[in-house]
Amino acid sequence: MLPLFFARHFVQPVLMNNTNRTTLGQILLLCFVALAACSADRESGKVDAGSDDAIDLIIKGDHIVTMDDDRTIISNGAVAVDDGIIIAIGTQAEIEAQFRSRQTLAGDKRVVMPGLVNGHGHAAMTLLRGVADDLELMDWLNNYIFPSEVEFVDSEFVRIGTELACWEMIRGGTTTFVDMYYFPDTIAEVVVDCGMRAMISATVIDQRSPDAEGAADSISKGSAFINRWKNRNPRITPMFGPHANYTLNAEQLAATRAAAIELGVPISIHMSESPFELQYSQDTFGMTSIEMYESIGFFEGPTIAAHVVWPTAAEIPILVSRKVGVIHNPTSNMKIASGISPVAEMLAAGVRVGLGTDGAASNNDLDMWEEMRLAAFLQKVDRMDPRVLPADTVLSMATTGGATAIGLGDITGSLEVGKRADIIQVAFDDVHHVPTFNVVSHLVYVTDEQDVASVIVDGQVLMLEHEFLTIDTERVTAEAVEFAARIQAALEQRNRE
């Protein structure tokens, strides 16, 4: 749920302060990392940092969960990475016989798997985390979220909130995310610096928003953003994010699709999320939501549809034939009481379904492990059938299936030779992983985000044994706390009035 924005115009200084400030702490950390890498390499006995034929990185694990089509799991395995690409996967013996690397991540009590794909969210809303909970939807929006956005959402808010989100997502093993919020250039700059992979949607909405005056203006500004970022950085996919069919009319939705086709980019959107939307669509268009989108040719280009809680039996085949990527957000759907999405039916019909957290204001964290667990449990209790949505299916929704749903299945989501090296190492030394009969069962039903030890995106190590290499966590914490204090003071002031 992306909060809407109904407010009067306001002017905020635009701060594009996104430069990397190298602190002494970062320098010391890098030295430490270099030493740690050297000692790990020495342990493996295969270090030759000066050698020309050494590859960039070898990542070892007790188990390599590839999530390839055969669901191959390699015991005592290793993944070889060079120039950002996975160049070989095999047993540690095979990989070590074939390659020498400049850096090696030791694999004792570690599971190696693809990085997680968070298919829907509003990253900067981490700054509104917990600002108000347990309220009826319109009370929550009108009295808490909207006023906070009216007063505070500017480029600086988006920079701090997105950095906070990237930190949290890296910590939890997410390597790719799909975002929809305001000031998309700022989001993109943060993502470039933190090293993640992201599809960044410029929000299109027919009302005054923090960065546009209405539908036409947001399409125009979104087009300019897309032109600035298309083909600029291989980790960034710019796109349009039309909000929903109750905040845009049919002509505006069609115009957004036309612009997306012209620019050759996909679209992400909220679709069939709530009973309110169903009723609104019937009253306004005389059709349910997905039928309405089909009737205006909206699915003529790649579409990532968040939620899809209320598809009719007639609409599910449309999602299949149009190859719509559906993103299931179980925590948000439960917290806002949107309903229970028929995920099992959609998967059985052949719909591409991934997982997402939605924004932190309606979750309230960005923990994909929790989404996996809740997705499974919600379907099981809804059908009163524990066989529904088994662990492997859920793990796929968070990795290879999710990557396919958002259109990046060719480059990420599984560990296969030729794919980009988006890889995580999960520590299996905590008591809750003892004993381990079935690795996939543990990953879905036991593992927490704190278990993620190391994170690699595009071959770059972003977190090494819980140490963050691309984010100044102390600075981000200080900035977030300060911003939150301003929000708190403003809300208290307003409540006194």
Q: Which of 2, 304, 462, 476 binds Zn ion (CB under 5 A)?
A: 2
Q: β-strands 197-204, 174-181: how paired?
A: parallel
Looking at the Cβ atoms of 2 and 58, the one nearer to Zn ion is 2
CB of 112 to Zn ion, least distance (A): 31
CA distance 29 to 119: 31
Which residues 6+ apart lie within 8 Å of 293 measured at CB?
245, 253, 271, 299
Q: How far apart are CA 342 and CA 316, in angstroms?
A: 10
Least distance between Zn ion and beta carbon 6 (Å):
17
Minimum distance from CB of 356 to Zn ion (Å)? 8
Closest CA to 132 of 482, 494, 497, 402: 494
Strands (E), 20-82: 55-65, 73-82
Binding window for Zn ion (CB under 5 A); candidates: 38-46, 295-303, 357-365, 430-438? 357-365
Phi, psi (rounded to 5 degrees) for 450: -65, -15
Residue with Cβ nearer Zn ion (203 or 425): 203
- Tell me which of 149, 168, 294, 358 binds Zn ion, using CB under 5 A: 358
Of residues 102 and 328, the one with the C-beta less far from Zn ion: 328
Given the complex with Zn ion, which of 323 and 335 has the nearer CB atom?
Answer: 335
Q: Which stretch binds Zn ion (CB under 5 A): 38-46, 71-79, 336-344, 356-364?
A: 356-364
Tell me the pairing of strands 452-457 and 423-427. antiparallel
Q: Which two tokens stand for residue 413?
A: 């989501």
Residue 435 preceded by cis peptide, ω within 30: yes
CB of 477 to Zn ion, least distance (A): 25
Cα 116–Cα 393–Cα 290 angle in degrees, nearest 5: 85
The span of 276-284, 338-346, 355-363, 381-389 binding Zn ion (CB under 5 A) equals 355-363
Cα–Cα separations (whole angstroms), residue 380 to 145, 347, 388, 415, 451: 33, 14, 5, 29, 25
Q: Judged by CB under 5 A, which stretch of 2-10, 84-92, 313-321, 456-464 contacts Zn ion? A: 2-10
Least spacing, CB of residue 425 vs Zn ion, in Å: 30
Site string for Zn ion, 307-346 (x = CB under 5 A): ----------------------------------------
Is the CB of 181 or the CB of 225 nearer to Zn ion? Answer: 181
* Residue 495 exposure: Cα atoms within 13 Å on the Cβ side: 9
Contact between 273 and Zn ion by CB under 5 A: the answer reads no
Residues pairing with 212 in the sheet? 209
* Token pair in block for residue 6: 């109904």
Q: Which stretch binds Zn ion (CB under 5 A): 46-54, 181-189, 279-287, 350-358?
A: 350-358
CB 155 within 8 A of CB 16: yes
State the residue for tokens 């492990």. 369
Query: Could you identify the residue written with the tokens 């125009």?
Result: 220
Closest CB to Zn ion among residues 252, 357: 357
Shortest distance (Å) from residue 295 CB to Zn ion: 24
Contact 247, 4 (CB under 8 A): yes
Q: Supply the minimum distance, in Å, between the C-beta of residue 370 and Zn ion.
A: 17
Residue 156 binds Zn ion (CB under 5 A) = no
- Whichever of 294 and 358 has its CB closer to Zn ion, that residue is 358
Pair 203, 221: CB distance under 8 Å: no
Least separation in angstroms between residue 2's CB and Zn ion is 5
Give me the least distance between CB of 418 and Zn ion, in Å please: 33
Compute how many residues bind Zn ion; rule: CB under 5 A: 3
- Residue closer to Zn ion (CB basis): 1 or 128: 1
Contact 114, 412 (CB under 8 A): yes
Min separation Cβ 329 and Zn ion, Å: 7
Distance of CA 275 to the CA centre of its chain: 26
82 contributes a contact to Zn ion by CB under 5 A: no
Residues forming contacts to Zn ion in the complex (CB under 5 A) are: 1-2, 358
